[in-house]
Copies of this chain bind each other. A is one copy, B any other.
């Protein structure tokens, strides 16, 4: 008998009507003879309202009280879904926080799940409904996992229950080769490896939260991404062994959440990189891609790197403050960039992927500003206005276009 965890996001439980539909879906799985645990998000909009209230109340809010307020949203959905399931004649109950986390309120990490009693009930045929996105900290106070944390709750619960599968119901029907809103010929993938999914998620595909994919990979939880609004099968995120035909490139991701900073005329002496990146790190600003190029006079260099777009202003002010110490000539911030990444585990054994990418972009007259690579990924930074052109050209070049 299969043991399944099903997770439903905010748009899937946006109102009572949809919660009842979710209950129907859960019932199907129960009728198939599966043991079912369900993880729910807050009703769409509820969390935003709660966050707005905390902001209105106090700008410098205590993260512990913030968590008390915010976690109420999922609690409501959990109770309502349990009621909706009972209404269909299914034995169901909601559970508060069987999930122990560390004490980092607002973005707590799951430490353990005491699932013994929960599991016993599942085995008796009772459906367990768990409020996602939250847990209980070391001092007995409610914690939240950070936005999108319900995915992580679901995968962690699936790991603790040794579930056969963790179904993540969302508003898209799977993982695509690239964003189908931009590339009409994008195809839904039947399967994708954890490593690829992790790169897709961290490179901008917003289907699954990065942390939940990491956790799935570490605990070998089979995750399925599928739509709660259609009945088609979704995309399975699985171990490499489960994928028979390995593609060289599986998908193309892009992220608009990038900004570029060029520091011009940096003196070419030891310690200068530390003088630039040290203060940024101290201010919790993550630097992603970096490239250094010699300037024409040969004595100074230009340093170009990317930060999250939300951090751009802060990064500039940090650098300006250190200008004297570093001794650079000029600072050029540029928010109008996009990072495009081609991703595929087949790259490990196939050469030429990067070359094909550069050639394809060059053929379209798109200038590459920064490059970074990993074992299964090549990323380039380009001007934002070329986003759609680049995605379509690369999608065709790597043979990902849907037939017809």
Contact = CB atoms under 8 A, between A and B. Distances in A.
Interface of A: 16, 19-20, 50, 53-54, 56-62, 64-69, 71-73, 75-76, 78-80, 82-84, 86-87, 93-94, 96, 141-142
Given A65-B79, A80-B53, A58 B87 contact: yes
A155 to B, nearest CB: 24
Contacts of A79: 54, 65-69, 72
A83 B61 contact: yes
A62 B79 CA distance: 10
Given A53-B16, A57-B20, A62 B86 contact: yes
A65 B93 contact: yes
Contacts of A93: 62, 64-65
B83 A54 contact: yes
A186 B393 CA distance: 83
A389 B254 CA distance: 77
Contact of A66 (B60, B72, B83, B141): B83
Nearest to A129: B65
Given A69-B79, A75-B72, A79-B68, A84 B96 contact: no
Contact of A69 (B53, B66, B76): B76
A245 B88 CA distance: 62
A119 to B, nearest CB: 17
A17 B64 CA distance: 21
Contact of A80 (B20, B57, B59): B57
A16 B73 CA distance: 18
Contacts of A16: 53, 56-57
